[in-house]
Structure 1
């Protein structure tokens, strides 16, 4: 896409999301729920894949885990589902352009965040009925990752959240400037790999990590540890998406909206 059409596209999408938000809130929530469920199911496969390599003693066990997780965001982008992290960028640009109201921005973020969580919890409930991942060893990859997330400082979590959604929103924006579905798909996968492999904090993916850890009775995990991570991670995601990408790109390209 050209510079003009990429910014115009995001503004138009934000305006379209606002219409659905007000006219069909049930459909909006359902879209967010499906996005959350996709995050959870792909994360489950990613963890099982990584565990195979970890159990085999492979030093690069986290590479396949990070590489496969991009399937989730690619599916969400191409199906135009509502994911909190990318939604932050869309509505920030929509508000800056004047096409979206501030109250719609706040309402959208709350509804999408809640819908993503509901989708994750529903998937994990069904997954529990299917036996989950079985009895996990104490050194399982899931437990190792979650332990790092709840024991990091709030400041570290916040800045990792900023970096995460800066990259995630670039994974949404950059493909708009490209032609060809294969090229766009590869760019999404590569950028998602960057954030996941780096250990940055994605609030919605973290919800899935915690839900799966609770399902498999991770020792020492409690609500306080979850909130210690999710609050700064969410705030960081908002800053990274709304300011790091939304505001910056809008300031760089706003002149194209009048062309």
Structure 2
């Protein structure tokens, strides 16, 4: 079954490459869309977690971790090119000598750039809604972001590795499962694991920090 799933990984990598070859701009837009989906997950996680955070409840992080799973569902079923997932698809295909590393690097850079742009656009939209203008609604978000910026570079680096390990498994393992119910549960479980463990997802951090910068600008 693993071999069948790995064949799907290659096919997905070629599909993404084909999308880029047909229209680099469309590929960029898909990357922007992916980080916006992550942004939706970030907002849901911190809005729901904040209710518990304000009451000093230990459930703040578990609830945030549980609801953040909406992000991966949006990406898988709504479409989008997420850099962290692309590192898996393109690396595997390149190691199999089915794609050149120069081509892989180009695809990575464009998806990463699109993710950054999308995160900034989403932060602007959230800023315009005023949903986090009240300090009583943004305490959890700002506290988590503040804790992140005080981590050392090496801590962030290794937390990022462990995070993407789980994220790639969240994309890979459901390929071997039948039925949307099993796939959804597995994806959300792995996302819950990386969130509750305190690992660092680079694209989620883009959305978190860009959102915090907008909030800070209102003070």
TM category (shorter chain) comes to over 0.9
**Residue number in structure 2 paired with 1:210:** 209
CA distance in 1 between partners of 2:42 and 2:24 (Å): 27
SS in 2 for 1:216: helix
- In structure 2, the gaps of 5 or more residues are none
CA distance in 1 between partners of 2:136 and 2:79 (Å): 37
For these two proteins, the number of residue pairs brought into alignment is: 218
CA distance in 1 between partners of 2:77 and 2:128 (Å): 30
**Residue number in structure 2 paired with 1:87:** 86
CA distance in 1 between partners of 2:146 and 2:133 (Å): 19
Instruction: Supply the RMSD in Å over aligned alpha carbons.
Output: 1.7
Q: Within 5 A, what are the aligned runs for 1:1-259? A: 2-137=1-136, 140-217=139-216
Distance 1:71 1:106, change over 3 A: same
2:31 and 2:111 in contact (8 A); partners too: yes
The Cα offsets for residues 7-61 of structure 1, whole Å up to 9 and x where unpaired, read as 1110111112112112211111111111111111221121010001111232211
CA distance in 2 between partners of 1:21 and 1:148 (Å): 37
Pairwise CA distance, 1:138: 10
Pairwise CA distance, 1:132: 3.7
The Cα offsets for residues 131-156 of structure 1, whole Å up to 9 and x where unpaired, read as 14113259811111111111011111
1:91 and 1:100 in contact (8 A); partners too: yes
Distance 1:4 1:139, change over 3 A: closer
Say which is worse superposed, 184-193 or 118-127, in terms of deviation: 118-127
* TM-score between the two structures when normalised by the length of structure 1: 0.80
Distance 1:139 1:26, change over 3 A: closer
Pairwise CA distance, 1:128: 1.5
CA distance in 1 between partners of 2:9 and 2:34 (Å): 19
1:161 and 1:201 in contact (8 A); partners too: yes
The Cα offsets for residues 150-180 of structure 1, whole Å up to 9 and x where unpaired, read as 1011111111001000000011111112111
Superposed structure 1 runs of 4+ greater than 6 Å apart = none
SS in 2 for 1:57: coil
- In structure 1, the gaps of 5 or more residues are 219-259
2:50 and 2:138 in contact (8 A); partners too: no
